[in-house]
Amino acid sequence: MSVAVQYSIGGKTASAIASSIEEGARSGRLLPDAPLPTVRKLAKDLHLSPTTVAAAYRLLKTRGVLRTDGRRGTRLAPRPPLATPGFPRVPRHLRNLADGNPDQALLPSWKRAIRTLPPRSRVYGGDGARAGLLHLARAEMESESIPAENLTVVGGAMDGLERVLEAHLKPADRVAVEDPGYVAVLDLLSALGLQAEPVRVDDFGMRPEGLAKALESGAACCVMTPRAQNPTGACFDKRRVRELKRVLEAHPKVLLIEDDHAGPVAGAEALTLVDARLERWAVLRSVSKSLGPDLRLAFLAGDGLTVARVEGRRALGAGWVSHVLQTIVEAVLRQRETPALLLEARRVYAERRERLLKALAQKGLKAHGRSGLNVWVPVAAEASVVAHLAADGWAVRPGERYRLRSPPAIRITVATLRGFEVETLAEDVLEAVSSGAGRGVVA
C-alpha cells in the first residue's frame, strides 16, 4: 500500500497537500522519519501536476516538516515542528525516573517572594528587565569569568536559544550540536529549518576533533552545554575548555551558544568558552532547575549585537518577560536562605547521581553522569531494556530521541532517587541489559 493511500494524503493545491501531510503527522498516523511518495508518484495518485506536489513538499521543507535524505528520498522529519505525540505519560504505578524534573523538596519556597509583588499591574513602557534582577545575574556571571556587560532576560533557556538562532541564522544553515543531545534543541533546529550537524560527546562535552570537522564543513553555529549536559551529564573541565577554544580560534565568526540550563545546582564548576576572540556568542542560564520549572526565566549574556537583536525582535512580539515573574525570581534569589538551599540541592543531586553510578559500576555496567540530574547508561537494545524495567516498576527514557548517530542508551533521572532504591534499581538494570538483545553492554 502506498504511503499516500495509507495516510490519506490529499488535496488539490500545494497548501492543501501540505496541510494533509501535517495533519497526518500531528495525529500520529504519519510517524517521524516515515517515507513519503516521490513527487511523480503522489502527483499521479492525486491526479495533479508534479509541479503542485513539488511546491507542497518545498513548503513543508521550509517549515522543517519534511527533509530530503539522499537515496532514502523525501521523509517526514524525525522531529517535525508540530504538536505530535511526544514521550508517553508515565503511568502512575511506575516509579518515575524518566521526566528529568528537579526534586520539588529541594526548590526554594515562593511564599514570601509573592508578598513582594506590587499591588497593581505594570503598564506599557519602561525597561524590559528589572535592574535589580540583572544586577544579581551580572554579579554571578562575572564572578565566573562570563562577560555580562550585555545582559537581558528571556522566557527560559529554549526561548533564549530560539531568539539567538533566529537573530543570526537562516533556514538550511548548519548547526553543530551535541550527540547525544537535548531533545528540545534538536526539535527546535528542525522547526527552524536548520540542519543539525552531530558532534560526539564524551564525559567532558563535545569532542574537539568532532567540532573541528563540523566547523570546517560549514557549520555556522555550535550549541553546547558546559555542565549538566542532558542526557549524559557531561561537563567541561579546564583541559577540554582549552581544546575547544583552540578549535573556535580558527573560526572566529562562528556563533557560539552555551546552554547552562542547570546553573548553580549542576554539580560542577561554571566554565565558559567565551573570550574576546569570538565575534558572536551567547550564554544562557535558566532558573528552572534551581528555582523551579514554572519560573520560565533565563538570563542571556552575549555580544552587544546579539543581545540587541534579541531585545529588538522581542519588542515586536512578547514585548518583555512578565515583571510579576521577574519580581518573584529576584525576591527568591535575595532570600537569606536561598544560597544555602542551592548548595544543598547541588550536594544532594551529586550524591544521588554518584550512588547510582557506583552501584552500576560494581555490577560491571558502564554509565555516565559527571554532573546534572541524569545518568546515561549504554545498552544494546533500548526498547527491550525500557520494557523490562517497566515490568520491574521503573520508568526510564529510551535514548533514541536524544541521539543522531551515537549508540543506544537509556536515560535515568536521579533527582528524586532515594538511597534505599539504588541497589534494587542497579540490580534491575543489570538484569534488563543482560537479558536477550540487551546483552553486550556489560563492561
Place of cell 524590559: 128
How many residues are there in the chain? 443
Closest of 174, 175, 181 to residue 205, by C-alpha: 181
**What Å distances lie between residue 17 and 27, 33, 112, 214, CA to CA?**
16, 18, 54, 35
Cis ω before 180 (30° cut-off from 0) = yes
Q: Is the CB of residue 359 less than 8 Å from the CB of residue 394?
A: no
| Calpha distance 346→175 (Å, rounded) | 31
Q: Which CATH number fits domain 109-334: 3.20.20.220, 1.10.940.10, 3.40.640.10, 3.30.365.10?
A: 3.40.640.10
Question: What count of other Cβ atoms lies within 10 Å of the Cβ of residue 294?
Answer: 11
pTM, rounded to two decimals: 0.84
Largest Cα span, the chain = 71
Domains of the chain, by residue range, sit at 3-76, 95-104+339-438, 109-334
Q: Is the CB of residue 262 less than 8 Å from the CB of residue 230?
A: no
The CATH topology of domain 95-104+339-438 is Aspartate Aminotransferase, domain 1 (3.90.1150)
Closest of 318, 325, 270 to residue 297, by C-alpha: 325
Question: What count of other Cβ atoms lies within 10 Å of the Cβ of residue 115?
Answer: 8
Q: Is the CB of residue 376 less than 8 Å from the CB of residue 367?
A: yes
Q: Which helix (H) or strand (E) holds 201?
A: strand 195-202
Closest of 51, 33, 30 to residue 42, by C-alpha: 51
Chain centroid to Cα 171, Å, comes to 19
Report, at the CATH architecture level, how domain 3-76 is classified. Answer: Orthogonal Bundle (1.10)
Encode the chain (443 residues) as per-residue pLDDT tens digits: 344 444 578 899 999 999 999 888 887 788 778 889 999 999 999 999 999 999 999 889 888 888 877 777 888 887 777 665 556 688 889 999 999 999 999 999 989 999 888 888 877 877 889 999 999 999 999 999 999 999 999 999 999 999 999 999 998 899 999 999 999 999 899 888 899 999 999 999 999 999 999 999 999 999 999 999 999 999 999 999 999 999 999 999 999 999 999 999 999 999 999 987 899 999 999 999 999 999 999 999 999 999 999 999 998 888 889 999 999 999 999 999 999 999 999 999 999 999 999 999 999 999 999 999 999 999 999 999 999 999 999 999 999 989 999 999 999 999 999 999 999 999 999 999 998 554 444 44
Burial 301-334 (b: 16+ CB within 10 A, else e): bbbeebbebbbeebeeeeebbebebbbbbbbbbe
Q: Is the CB of residue 289 less than 8 Å from the CB of residue 263?
A: yes
Burial 22-60 (b: 16+ CB within 10 A, else e): bbbbeeeebebebebbebeebbebbebeeebbebbbebb
